Structure 1
Amino acid sequence: MAPKTVRKAVFPVGGLGTRFLPATKAIPKEMLPIVDRPLIQYAVEEALEAGIEHMIFVTGRGKAAIEDHFDIAYELESTMRGRGKSLDILDGTRLKPGSITYARQQEPMGLGHAIWCARDAVGDEPFAVLLADDFMVGRPGCLKQMVEAYARTGGNLICAEEVPDDQTHRYGIITPGARDGALTEVRGLVEKPAPGTAPSNLSVIGRYILQPEVMQVLERQEAGAGGEIQLTDAMARLIGEQSFHGVTFQGTRYDCGDKAGFLHANLAVALGRDDLGDAVEAFAADLLDRRAAQRRVAA
């Protein structure tokens, strides 16, 4: 029997974004732009490419800009029409009526808690989770690669990426089983293992396809690493009861929860664009030449 179609996606966007202060004092971190589109729009477009029909945003205080971004801006559109400008640039911000649900996470109690806040909107269907901080660049997109794998395996899928051994303590880590190309059987999950104790260097990245039973585990509100309700812990409880696989993403991930990763993503996207690539490349080359010259003088 074919697995049930994944139609819904949850976007946990209630975080405070403290690593990007003061920029995120009044602007949600998910609205920080990669060139000219906010991070959250890239994630939504990735979901649409994968066939997702219903977007569920789990928000918190100060996140109204996200709701406004995916709404109709009547004054802006009227002004643009009056000036003879195309509205095509806004296509990715206008979703179908009724295709968005907003849930509120009143307290920052962890990723697992944020997912649990979406339980009523998810219902009894399998669902995807996308963390906008993990900016995924590939063709097809990361979630579409996972949906294609899900059609073969069913069950639960998590995006997997190899990380250096000295960084495993920063991630959820997979205890791997059998491997078949990009697919890895998941026999266990450990959230942020202590240095030197990780069962592998295969980390869990911010894309998931989960069965609705995970909500029953999250309902227990059990605190894990950092005193927060961890999604990794809830998934680990279901291993052995349901199918679990990791899908190694064929593409590039930029950690946009980190300042350097955010800058890397902007530079990479700009260099890849026909309208910006040449100018940005020339500027970067000149900047590097001047930096090298300064170092030679300093030496």
Structure 2
Amino acid sequence: MLKAKKVRKAIIPAAGLGTRFLPATKASPKEMLPIVDKPTIQYIVEEARKSGIEEILIITGKGKRAIEDHFDAVPELEDNLRAKGKIKMLESVEETTGLDMYFKRQSHPQGLGDAVLTAKTFVGNEPFVVMLGDDLMEDKVPLTKQLVDSFEQTGASTLAVLPVPHEEVSKYGVIDPSEQVEEGLYNVSRFVEKPAVEDTPSDLAIIGRYVLTPEIFEILENQQPGEGNEVQLTDAIDTLNKKQRVFAKVFNGDRYDVGNKFGFLKTNIEYGLKHPETKDELKDYIKDLAKRLD
């Protein structure tokens, strides 16, 4: 077997309208909503860097300029913090600059598959990562790194899956596993976008991390709109799977869904309980609140 090419590039789609968070997202990108003191998209970028990704393309849209500004230098702010000796604050600001990051607009959003297709020129003839911003993942080894390591062993596209409650499968792309080739790694018969509960082939849902081969682009260029009249990445992956193997890897770490209001609040609480500046006060507050609600 030929040695697989190194996975160097990542795509982060961030062109959605964020309607589930209106009115907060009317003029501010959903991806900039903070989890304690960092915007959600920064956690995704940090996972990419920890996974060995060298270049990142963020797909944006209208009203998303704040994302680009966040990853740019702000000399006036940095000089002010440096002059006042606020070194920790300065370091937190500077860690988001100096990265090999690129930005491209998806002028007319037509689904996740369409967003990925806009990155064709950026990717070229290389394998690449797709990372969705609605899911924050925590594990000893970053999930993206797990997928990259798997790809370097198999040379095959690999995406992350997680068991979800049966009644929730219609919210996700779902796999139909055919066989387990090793612990937690499945061959897949088919990929189904948002199946009805009674028709789902399994409860293993796709959770927003993918390593894909560049052959996906030719498929996306000819992909007809599917669920929601959008170009679905899951449908294109199902077609790819008929031409070359696509694996599904089960994630055993912690997943935080920040794509809905309750998940966003829950994530803020759990991250707040780990943050050195907030954990003690927040824990005391929660205990006191629980007593008052009894």
SS in 2 for 1:190: strand
Moved more, 203-212 or 130-139: 130-139
**1:44-55 mapped onto 2 (5 Å cutoff):** 44-55=45-56
Deviates more, 1:6-15 or 1:244-253: 244-253
Listed as ranges, the matches of 1:1-299 within 5 Å are 1-86=2-87, 87-96=90-99, 99-179=100-180, 180-292=182-294
Offset of 1:74 from its aligned partner?
1.2
TM-score (norm 2): 0.96
Deviations 1:83-122, CA, capped at 9 Å, x for gaps: 12212112431133xx122111111210000000111111
CA RMSD, Structure 1 to Structure 2 (Å): 1.1
Distance 1:155 1:109 in 2: 27
Which deviates further from its counterpart, 67-76 or 269-278? 269-278
What's the offset of the Cα at 1:230? 0.3
Which sections of structure 1, spanning at least 5 residues, go unmatched? 293-299
Amino acid in the other structure paired with 2:274: G
Match of 1:296 in 2: none
SS in 2 for 1:275: coil
3-state secondary structure, aligned to 2:23: coil
The percentage of aligned residue pairs carrying the same residue is 46
The aligned amino acid for 1:143 is T
Q: Could you list the runs of 5+ residues in structure 2 that have no partner in the other structure?
A: none
- State how far apart, in whole Å, the 2-side matches of 1:181 and 1:7 are: 26
The one-letter code matched in structure 2 to 1:242 is Q
The amino acid that maps onto 1:27 is S
Letter in 2 for 1:209: V
- Which one-letter code corresponds to 2:108 in the other structure? E
Q: Contact 1:41 / 1:92 at 8 angstroms: preserved in 2? A: no
Q: State the one-letter code of the partner of 1:163.
A: V
Cα distance, 1:221 vs. partner? 4.3
Query: Secondary structure of 1:136's match?
Result: strand
CA distance in 1, matches of 2:286, 2:230: 41
Change (3 A) 1:208 1:217: same
8 Å Cα contact 2:73-2:94 kept in structure 1: no
Q: Which amino acid aligns with 2:138?
A: V
1:147-178 superposed Cα distances (whole Å, 9 cap, x missing partner)? 12222222111110001111111110001022
Could you tell me how far 1:41 is from its partner in structure 2? 0.4
For residue 8 of structure 2, what is the amino acid of its counterpart?
A: R
- Give the conservation status (yes or no) of the 8 Å contact 1:9–1:54: yes
